[in-house]
């Protein structure tokens, strides 16, 4: 459903805003998804919040920014699974929203499409990816023949750096990302 929603917006040349986090994982996540969407000819921009002035997460003022600048879709990376109120504001303003995150959810989940392996019933077998890992996996679902596209090695390298910088356990998929990313570096 997430892939379908993103392609709907790409195919209609709608404006897509990626809302990232300000740490290494968030910046890397934003970069990975931005490059993947640009590869698919999306009309996309990235917004990084300021650590001191904006704080962490999808805040109402980010939704206002998206509305004021006529974005049709917001995709979060490395944040948003707890942004229940901000998602409601976006919906009232007719802005589609997709959450991609790797943090623990709260009891109430946002009323939108989301990708977070920590959510019970997600069906994804490994919940140890960092935000960049989630963005990398989403990119692999969006781009046909992902491993052979010309941006794959670049995105893999950034994902491996973010995995280490976010202090993720180097097991399972993370081990493969880091080993292959280091080889590519």
Q: Please say if the pLDDT value at position 169 is more than 90.
A: yes
pLDDT for the residue numbered 56: 81
pLDDT tens digits, 84-124: 999 999 999 999 999 999 999 999 999 999 999 999 888 88
pLDDT for the residue numbered 17: 98
Q: Please say if the pLDDT value at position 166 is more than 80.
A: yes
pLDDT for the residue numbered 118: 92
User: By C-alpha distance, which of 89, 85, 178 is closest to 128?
Assistant: 178
> What span, in angstroms and rounded, lies between the C-alpha atoms of 123 and 19?
25
3-class secondary structure, 69? coil
The DSSP annotation for 94-158 comes to T-EEEEE--SPP-SSPPSSEEE-TTSTT---S-----HHHHHHHHHHHHSTTGGGSTTHHHHHHH
pLDDT tens digits, 9-53: 999 999 999 999 999 999 999 999 999 999 999 999 999 987 878
pLDDT tens digits, 74-95: 999 999 999 999 999 999 999 9
User: By C-alpha distance, which of 27, 21, 133 is closest to 81?
Assistant: 21
Q: Identify the residue with better confidence: 40 or 55.
A: 40
pLDDT band at 128 (very low <50, low <70, confident <90, very high): very high
Tell me if 16 sits within 8 A of 73, measured CB to CB. Answer: yes
């Amino acid at each position: 459903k997430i892939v379908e929603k993103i392609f709907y917006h790409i195919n209609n040349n709608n404006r897509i805003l990626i809302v990232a986090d300000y740490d290494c994982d968030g910046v890397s996540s934003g970069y990975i998804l931005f490059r993947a969407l640009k590869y698919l000819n999306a009309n996309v921009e990235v917004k990084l919040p300021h650590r001191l002035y904006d704080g962490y997460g999808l805040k109402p003022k980010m939704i206002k920014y998206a509305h004021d600048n006529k974005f049709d879709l917001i995709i979060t990376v490395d944040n948003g699974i707890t942004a229940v109120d901000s998602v409601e504001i976006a919906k009232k303003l007719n802005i589609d929203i997709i959450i991609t995150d790797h943090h623990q959810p709260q009891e109430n989940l946002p009323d939108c499409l989301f990708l977070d392996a920590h959510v019970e019933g997600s069906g994804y077998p490994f919940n140890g990816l960092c935000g960049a890992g989630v963005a990398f996996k989403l990119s692999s679902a969006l781009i046909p023949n992902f491993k052979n596209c010309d941006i794959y090695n670049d995105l893999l390298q950034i994902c491996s750096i973010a995995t280490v910088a976010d202090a993720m356990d180097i097991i399972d998929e993370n081990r493969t990302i880091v080993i292959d990313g280091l080889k590519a570096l």
